[in-house]
Copies of this chain bind each other. A is one copy, B any other.
Amino acid sequence: MPEDVDVVVVGAGIAGLSAARELVSAGFSVAVLEARDRVGGRTESREFAGATFDVGGQWIGPAQKRMQSLVKELDIETFPTYHSGESVVVVDGKRSTYRGDIPKLNPFTLLALQNAASGTNRLAKRVDVAHPERTPKAAKLDAQTLATWRKRNIPSKAGQAILDAGLRVVFGADPSELSMLWALYYISQSNTVDELIGIEGCAQESRFVNGAQTVSVKLAEQLGDRVKLSSPVRSISQTEESVTVSTDTGEWKAKRVIVALAPTMTAGITHSPDLPSARAQLVQRMPMGATTKCLAIYDRAFWREAGLSGEAVMTTGPLAVAFDNTSADGSVPALLGFSVGSLARDLAKLSADDRRTAVLDALASCFGPKARNPIEYHEKNWQEDPWSKGCPTGNFGPGTLLQFADALSEPVGRVHWAGTETAQEFCGFMEGAVESAERAVAEVSAALKSEKVA
Contact = CB atoms under 8 A, between A and B. Distances in A.
Interface string A293-304: 000000000000
A177 interface: yes
A145 B144 contact: yes
Most buried by B among A234, A286, A383, A399: A399
Interface residues of A, number: 53
B398 A147 contact: yes
Contact of A176 (B142, B178, B234, B386): B142
Given A145-B145, A145-B399, A397-B399, A284 B280 contact: no
A141 to B, nearest CB: 10
A139 B386 CA distance: 29
A290 interface: yes
A85 B253 CA distance: 60
Interface string A391-404: 00000011110010
Interface stretch (A266-274, A327-335, A431-439): A266-274
Contacts of A345: 277-278, 281, 403
A363 to B, nearest CB: 22
A380 to B, nearest CB: 11
Contacts of A176: 139, 142-143, 398-399
A342 interface: yes
Interface in A370-426: 381, 383-386, 389-390, 397-400, 403
A177 B386 contact: no
A281 B143 contact: no
Nearest to A345: B403
A277 B384 contact: yes
A6 to B, nearest CB: 28
Given A176-B399, A400-B177, A281 B288 contact: yes
A275 interface: yes
Interface of A: 139, 142-145, 147-148, 151, 173-178, 232, 234, 264, 267-271, 274-278, 280-281, 283-288, 290, 342, 344-345, 348-349, 381, 383-386, 389-390, 397-400, 403
